[in-house]
Amino acid sequence: MPKPIEETPRSDLHDVLHDIVDRMLAPFGKTSQRSPPSLLGPNYPIDITKPNQHDSKGAFLAELSVVEKAIEHAEGFLGLFLDLGSEQAPAKDLDRFEEAIDAKIRSASSPAPITSTTELIRRNIAETGGLNGSLWVMVDIHRAMKTRLSELEEQRDQFWNVSHRAPDYYARAIASRLAKLFARETGERPTSGSSPVSGAASTSFTRALEDIFELLDIESGSRSPADWAITNLTEDDFRPAINIFAATRNLGFPTKLGRPTLGSIPETGD
């Protein structure tokens, strides 16, 4: 069994979580996708933060409104450039427009020495194609907002429309994230179960969930959160992660410079 989270160094937690997920996926010939640490820290196989529990319903509704409007505006922004690549606006028109905007972004970029990560990111975008790079960032923001919207919609049911004793929200969140990873990687619905003799978890999904619960000091039993997470899976959760850069090669939008396309805008969060 893994050590509790307070006994596990942050640098080791990445490997421990990936090992747990690898054991879960092993019967299906899969492994977790291990990525090197980002500037913000380790890339865990699932998000292990606690769900955002707002102090009031007003605060919850305020964030929900911001996220919904952000999605709407992001789709409108990206849609403008998709229209530029339509039959009414040939590719050469988009190329001319992109060159003009890229030049202005480069000229606005400060020539001063880089002193922060933010400055480095902005300089890289300016020097490698300011408009195109910004569009890809907007695609990522749109995806993140869609994922956050799904979380908020779940929180609305969990936190604000509850007339009974509240469940362990953290346990449910972890179970849901692990179930979605399982479904995405295997294309199958995870199952939950326990041994009638020992009571121990009897499926790879529930065994992994128990290990993660122990690691994160979640004292709730795994069976109820596992059943809840499995029941709440949607069709979108079974879709494999999309390589949006590869996908652009098979779509009609001009892709000479690998621009985002309509297919790059996911309908739901990953």
The answer to pTM > 0.75 is no
Residue 269 in domain: no
pLDDT digits (tens, 9 = 90+) for 235-260: 989 987 655 444 444 433 344 445 66
Contacting residues for 134 by C-beta, under 8 A, at least 6 apart? 125
Residue 270 in domain: no
Residue 142 in domain: yes
Residue 201 in domain: yes
Q: What is the domain range of residue 259?
A: 5-264
Residue 19's φ and ψ, nearest 5 degrees, are -65, -40
Would you state the pLDDT for residue 261? 57
Judge whether 223 and 191 are in contact, CB under 8 Å: no
Judge whether 234 and 154 are in contact, CB under 8 Å: no
- DSSP code of residue 160: I
Residue 203 in domain: yes
Would you state the pLDDT for residue 169? 81
Q: What angle do CA 183, 185, 186 make, to 5 degrees?
A: 65
Residue 255 in domain: yes
Would you state the pLDDT for residue 255? 40
pLDDT at residue 122 greater than cutoff 90:
no
Domain count, the chain: 1
Residue 229 in domain: yes
Residue 204 in domain: yes
Would you state the pLDDT for residue 180? 95
Which stretches within 41-90 are classed as H helix? 57-84
